[in-house]
Structure formats: C-alpha cells, structure tokens
C-alpha cells in the first residue's frame, strides 16, 4: 500500500489535526490536540465564528475518506458543524450529540444524513439525546444515487454527491433566517429533486485495511458504483468518455423525469484520482446530452467534492432548479472548499 | 489505459470545451467551438469581463495536464489570460501572442513562465511579436523546485507548484493598479522567496501516449519528482508521511535559508490522485517541523492546484512572507479555483 500516512490506524485523526492547523482562522476541530495528535474527547468540527443566535444550525457528517465532504463545507452559508467518523464508518452518537450541542444557536438543528444504515442509526440516537436536552432537531436523509436499491450498508438508495447540494442550499436558507421547519422543508425539496450516478475506473484502499476495496480488471469499469466502492449496476468494458457519460446520465434523467425546457444544475464530481481535465470532458459530454434532450443547464459545478479516497471515476448529478433553489444556490458561501 | 477521454488525441480540446461551457459566465475560451469541439483558431482563455483599461494584464500558460493551473486561475485579482498547450507540451507562440493581444488593457503585459525550455522559448517569441505591435511585455521565470538543476526539459531549476503564488500575488498587484515595472518586480520578489519540492508515489499517463511516464516499483517512491514525472533526486522505500515530509521540506528550508522567527506561507499541493485527507497529514507534519525550527506559518494553502494528471504524490512549498506579500496574498480573488 502506497499512502501518505503515518500509522494507518491514526490516519483520520492525523488528517483532522492538519486540517485544524491549516484552517484555524475559520474552523475549530474539537476532540484532537493538533500538537500531540492525541484524542481528547468526542471529535467534531464547528465554525470558528458561530452563526448569530437565533439561526438554525445545519450539521452533517459521516465516514471519513470523502473529503472535502463534510469538513470542507463548514462556514458561513453552509454547515455550522460536521462530524467526521472513522474511514468509511459512521461517527458515533456521542460525537454527533456534542456537535449538536456546540452548534445549536437557539433555533433548532437540521441534521443532513447520507442514507447508510450506520449513519441513519447514529444520527437518530444523537438526535434523541439532544431532544432530551430540549433542542429541536430535524433530520433529512439524502438518497440521490439512482444506481441501486438496497446496497451493501444501505436500505433504499445511497446518499452520494448530491449531499453537497443539500448542504449548500439548506445552509443558505438558515443563513437568511429561515425557521427550522422551513430549512428542513427546503432541504427535503432538494432531496426530492436531486439524482446522481457514478462510475469507477479503479478501486480505493482504506489505510487500515491496506488492500483495495474490490478488484476491477484492467479493461473493465464499474457503472453505478457507490462512494465506498459498493457494487454498482454492472461492469462494462472500458469505453469512451461520452459513452460512459451517457450510461450514467440517462438513468439520472429518467429517474428525475426532467422534462424538455426544465432548468437544472449539472454537477460533475470526481471520485478523488480523476484528473480535473477528464471531469471537464465528462461535463462537456453531459452538457451536450442535456442540450439534445432540451434540458436547460442553468448552473454548473465541476470538481472533487464527494470523493472515495484515491478512486478513479466520476459521478454526474442533476438538481431540478426553481427560482427558490437557484437563489439559495447563488447565495454567498464562505467555506474552505466552496466560496463565492 | 483507463481514462475518461474520447479520442486521446483530442483530450485537451475536449476538456477545454467542457471548461468553456461550465464557466461561460466568467471565462471565455477562444479557438475552440464547444458545440462541435472543433479548433477554430489559436487556443487561449481570457476573463469574460476584462480588467479595467489601464491595468497591467497578467498572463501565464504552459502544457496542459496540470489543471487547475493555469485556466482555473483566470479572474479578478489573478490571471487575465491563460494559454494551455497540448498535454505536458508548451503552447505555441501564436496562441500566446493572441492571448497577449486579447488581454492587453493599455498598461502592458506580464508573462509568468515556468522554467521549461519549450515554454521559455515560445513565450519569448510571442513577447517579441507583441513588442513589434508596441505592447510593453515583461517576463518572469518561475524556478521554485529545489530538487534538481538541469533536469529533463529544463536548464536550471524547474517551475512547479510555486507558480500559483506568483500568479496570485502578481494578479493582486495588477488589480490594485500597480504599473508594469512594479507588477514585474513583485512577481520576481515572490520568485526569489519561494521554493518547492515534491514526491511521487505513482507515475501518470499522458492520454496520447497511453502508458505510464515512468516505472516505480510497488515499494518505492521518487523524492524530488518534477510535475511531468521527470526524475527526482533519488528513489527511496515507502516511508511514513512524516518522514517523507521531512525529506522534501528540509531541502526547501535549507535552500530558502528561512531563519528562526521568519514568517512563511506553507502550501501543500497534491499531484492529482492523492486523497485530500493525506494532504492534510502532510500539512500537519510540515507544520510541526516548521514549529520545531521556529518558522512561523502565517498563511496556509492545501489542495490540488498544480497537478500531474493522476499522479499520486504531493509537494511542499514555502514562501517567505513580508507585509507586502501578505497583503497581496490576502487581497480579494475571484477565479474558478481560488476565491476569497
């Protein structure tokens, strides 16, 4: 295994310590001493400068290994806190609970949870603990992956790249002062209108495991892969980018039932090891397919946002836009990763 | 070869077409029809909204395959134009010349060139052509890589990750209205105070070539690698991240002669396929080394900015800061990749 890690067992902690040092002006990482790298308590991260009192707190989290999701999205106009678990493993309820208590600003908390059994269970337990403290908590479950139902680790559909869009738009709604019910409603509205599908060219290796998460022959790709290397819909021979793009975008269009003349946000996400130049090739191919089908691409995003360590591959996501979602997408955001 | 490309011979053009479509609101790509993917003339990219007349234009460019460098840095407070060549190959003088003519806003042009023989030659020829048109052109050569002198493709030191810092700071000087001599002087001041060194864990594959640029055994890494996979200083067994970080950072500190109590910008750059979590492990290790040596890390940057396609690896860069450079680094920037 070739990885830039020290003790593989401490990869997540060591990485969070580096993140804390690099972004100490905007983000606070709790539960790790960045000098000694020791764990000192429940691990979670918050905005250095909390949102004003009376604002709904928006929190997400999940297994590590998908960076910049979620820690890179902490900041004004997006997340108030994020809870990074062990690599590809849900954070424990105590960490989520402490994040809720730390981020709560008197107006309730929205939890944005990707649909994996462990995450759903642990966020639910933390929400119950917080409710016992009198904190109003609402939860939305992201399940944008159209590839498969009832995969490894998941009942129903998996939550993948679309999670970023839910976090951005819910964060914008909270920042403008919406109440908890309204922030939860707009987050659910995004979830109802966002779909994704991905492809993997190579597997990835969790440091503590030390071997690739699955085998993929040199001449095959996996269509419909999950962000932990869960099996997809099928394996196919290596194909041109425009063919692969069609094979992952058409199921998204079909499932979302996008009609001729509707506006969408088109988002091409890299899995971690795909050159940015190739993501733009996928974007161009997706854009031409949308044009052919009369779908109006009104907003765009291209980059490595919801990754799977050093997996090569990409996903395409469509979000059906209306004026409300467009305005919230365009609203100012100031995080380590997204800023405008 | 597993890559998300259509015809490997058209990978750069197809990618630029996608980039043009994704960022049509802020960047204009010239010489490619994004609908037909056909080349229609010299290829270069400019700000959609040019800088005010009377502002120095800052232009960079070089072989493609290092994205987001340079096209991702076009925008307010950074580059006015960028000239992407074929993969790992210098753009031709006609493209550079057209970019100069398009970006010139009446106050002269600064060319920021990475020190590779082909780039230096072609930017020089373009500068001569522009001078014949009466455009004042100055050129600075970035040569921040301390690893080797007189490498493949280069006489002297190579220009690598530090190029981003030159572009950001020169762009900020131009944006505040500095004259050409002053913008060139501050760019040279950055070059005089910036040093980098990198490590590769794996090679990368140029689409048109179809095989890895070099072989690296499964248990070895290359210390001092160039951004095109040029040989480094030596090969070493796979080692812990903190050991590797010391092996690439100590030569940087020694060469830059950073003294106890001096302030620096610490910048960890990913080569393309390194998980972001690992870049933060490198950052943390580098930060602790700086602390031990009494070097004050006053600004930080971590991410994939100057890449080598899907190479796994990273580089560390130090820029010695003074008040002037710090203020220009902090100045507002609004590009596809960097924004604050």
Q: What does the DSSP assignment read for A80-99?
A: SEEEEEEETSPPPHHHHHHH
* A153 catalytic residue (yes or no): no
Q: For residue A151, what pLDDT is reported?
A: 73
Does residue B196 surpass a pLDDT of 90? yes
Interface of A with B in 33-72 (CB under 8 A): 34-35, 37, 64-65, 67-68, 72
Coil, helix or strand for A200?
strand
Taking the CB of residue A300, how many other CB atoms lie within 10 A of it?
A: 19
**Dist CA A244 CA B17 (whole Å):** 18
Q: For residue B1, what pLDDT is reported?
A: 83
**Dist CA B217 CA B221 (whole Å):** 8
Compute the radius of gyration of chain B from its Cα atoms. Answer: 19
Coil, helix or strand for A6?
coil
Q: For residue B213, what pLDDT is reported?
A: 87
Looking at CA atoms only, how far is residue A136 from chain B in angstroms? 33
Contact B98, B46 (CB under 8 A): no
Taking each helix axis from N to C end, the angle separating A276-292 and B11-22, rounded to the nearest 10 degrees, works out to 70
Does residue B231 surpass a pLDDT of 80? yes
Residues in chain B closer than 8 A to A238 (CB atoms): 2
Q: For residue B293, what pLDDT is reported?
A: 95
Which secondary-structure segment (H or E) carries B234? strand B234-237
pTM of the model: 0.97
Q: For residue A231, what pLDDT is reported?
A: 82
- Kindly state the tokens that stand for A129: 């603990």
A309 touches chain B (CB under 8 A): yes
Q: Which residue has the tokens 């990763």?
A: A337
* Integer CA distances (angstroms), B252 to B65, B148, B161, in order: 25, 12, 13
* Integer CA distances (angstroms), B164 to A211, B54, B160, B193, B244, in order: 35, 24, 9, 13, 23
* Integer CA distances (angstroms), A77 to A94, B218, B228, B305, in order: 26, 44, 39, 25
* Integer CA distances (angstroms), A71 to A121, A246, B246, in order: 21, 32, 27
Contact A140, A219 (CB under 8 A): no
Residues in chain B closer than 8 A to A3 (CB atoms): 201, 241, 278
Contact B145, B158 (CB under 8 A): yes
Contact B16, B84 (CB under 8 A): yes
Looking at CA atoms only, how far is residue B135 from chain A in angstroms? 32
What is the mean pLDDT, run by run of 10 residues, along chain A of 340 residues? 94 98 98 93 97 97 98 98 97 98 98 97 98 98 92 85 98 98 98 98 93 91 91 93 98 96 98 98 98 97 97 98 98 97
Residues in chain A closer than 8 A to B23 (CB atoms): 300
Looking at CA atoms only, how far is residue B13 from chain A in angstroms? 9
Which residue, A332, A237, A214, A130, is CA-closest to B2? A237
**Dist CA A93 CA A122 (whole Å):** 5
Could you give the domains of chain A? Answer: 11-193 (3.40.50.10440), 194-330 (3.30.1180.20)
Q: For residue A230, what pLDDT is reported?
A: 86
> Of the candidates A281, A314, A339, which has its C-beta nearest B11's C-beta?
A281
Which residue, B256, B245, B27, is CA-closest to B144? B256
**Dist CA B219 CA A9 (whole Å):** 20
Q: What is the mean pLDDT of chain B?
A: 96
Contact B56, B174 (CB under 8 A): yes
Does residue B149 surpass a pLDDT of 90? no
Contact B82, B75 (CB under 8 A): no
Digit-coded pLDDT (tens) for B253-286: 999 999 999 999 999 999 999 999 999 999 999 9
Q: For residue B158, what pLDDT is reported?
A: 95
**If you average pLDDT over residues B109-130, what whole number do you get?**
98
- Kindly state the tokens that stand for B247: 């092996």
Main-chain phi, psi angles of A35, to 5 degrees: -80, -45
Q: A309 vs B285: CB contact, 8 Å cut-off?
A: no
Dihedral, A24, A28, A33, A34 alpha carbons, nearest 10: -30
**Which residue of A277, A311, A334, A336 is the best one to mutate when testing the B interface, meaning the one whose CB has the most B CBs within 10 A?**
A277
> Of the candidates A21, A22, A276, which has its C-beta nearest B67's C-beta?
A276
Interface of A with B in 219-238 (CB under 8 A): 221, 238
Q: Which residue has the tokens 């599908």?
A: A197
Interior angle at CA A159, CA A156 and CA A164, nearest 5: 160
Catalytic annotation, pick one of B23, B30, B66, B104: B66
pLDDT band for position B325 (50/70/90)? very high
**Dist CA A321 CA A190 (whole Å):** 9
Strands A57-64 and A81-87: parallel
Which secondary-structure segment (H or E) carries A43? strand A39-47
Q: How many residues does chain A have?
A: 340
**If you average pLDDT over residues B90-112, what whole number do you get?**
98
Burial of B18 (C-beta count, 10 Å sphere; 0-12/13-18/19+): buried
Contact A94, A58 (CB under 8 A): no
**Dist CA B45 CA A31 (whole Å):** 46
Contact A54, A106 (CB under 8 A): yes
B300 touches chain A (CB under 8 A): yes
Which residue, A54, A78, A58, is CA-closest to A68? A78
- Kindly state the tokens that stand for A27: 């983000």
Q: For residue A84, what pLDDT is reported?
A: 98
Q: For residue B229, what pLDDT is reported?
A: 83
**Dist CA A138 CA B14 (whole Å):** 44
Residues in chain B closer than 8 A to A307 (CB atoms): 275-276
End-to-end CA distance of chain A: 38
Q: A37 vs B284: CB contact, 8 Å cut-off?
A: yes
Q: Of A59-68, A92-101, B23-32, B142-151, which range is least confident? A: B142-151
**Dist CA B199 CA B247 (whole Å):** 9
Buried b (16+ CB within 10 A) or exposed e, A116-131: bebbbebbbebbebbe
């Amino acid at each position: 295994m070739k990885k830039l890690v020290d003790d593989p067992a401490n990869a997540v902690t060591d990485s969070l310590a580096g993140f804390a040092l690099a972004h100490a002006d905007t983000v606070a990482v709790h539960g790790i001493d960045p000098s000694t790298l020791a764990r000192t308590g429940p691990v979670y991260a918050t905005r250095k400068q909390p949102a004003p009192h009376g604002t709904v707190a928006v929190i997400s989290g999940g297994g590590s290994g998908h960076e910049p999701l979620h820690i890179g999205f902490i900041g004004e106009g997006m997340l108030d806190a994020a809870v990074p678990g062990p690599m590809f493993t849900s954070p424990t309820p105590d960490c989520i609970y402490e994040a809720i208590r730390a981020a709560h600003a008197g107006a309730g908390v929205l939890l944005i949870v990707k649909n994996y059994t462990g995450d759903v269970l642990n966020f639910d337990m933390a929400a119950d603990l917080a409710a016992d403290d009198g904190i109003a908590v609402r939860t939305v479950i992201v399940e944008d992956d159209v590839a498969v139902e009832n995969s490894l680790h998941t009942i129903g559909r998996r939550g993948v790249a679309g999670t970023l869009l839910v976090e951005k738009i819910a964060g914008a709604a909270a920042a403008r002062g919406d109440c908890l019910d309204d922030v939860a409603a707009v987050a659910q509205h995004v979830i109802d209108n966002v779909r994704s599908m991905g492809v993997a060219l190579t597997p990835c290796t969790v440091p503590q495991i030390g071997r690739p998460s699955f085998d993929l022959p040199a001449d095959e790709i996996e269509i419909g892969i999950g962000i932990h290397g869960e099996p997809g819909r099928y394996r196919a021979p290596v194909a041109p980018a425009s063919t692969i793009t069609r094979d992952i975008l058409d199921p998204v269009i079909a499932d979302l039932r996008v009609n001729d003349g509707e506006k969408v946000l088109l988002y091409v996400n890299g899995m971690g090891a795909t050159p940015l130049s190739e993501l733009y090739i996928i974007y161009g191919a997706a854009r031409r397919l949308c044009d052919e089908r009369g779908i109006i691409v009104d907003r765009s995003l291209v980059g490595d946002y919801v990754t799977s360590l050093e997996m090569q591959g990409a996903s395409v996501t469509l979000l059906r836009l209306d004026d409300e979602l467009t305005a919230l997408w365009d609203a100012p955001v100031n995080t380590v990763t997204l800023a405008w």
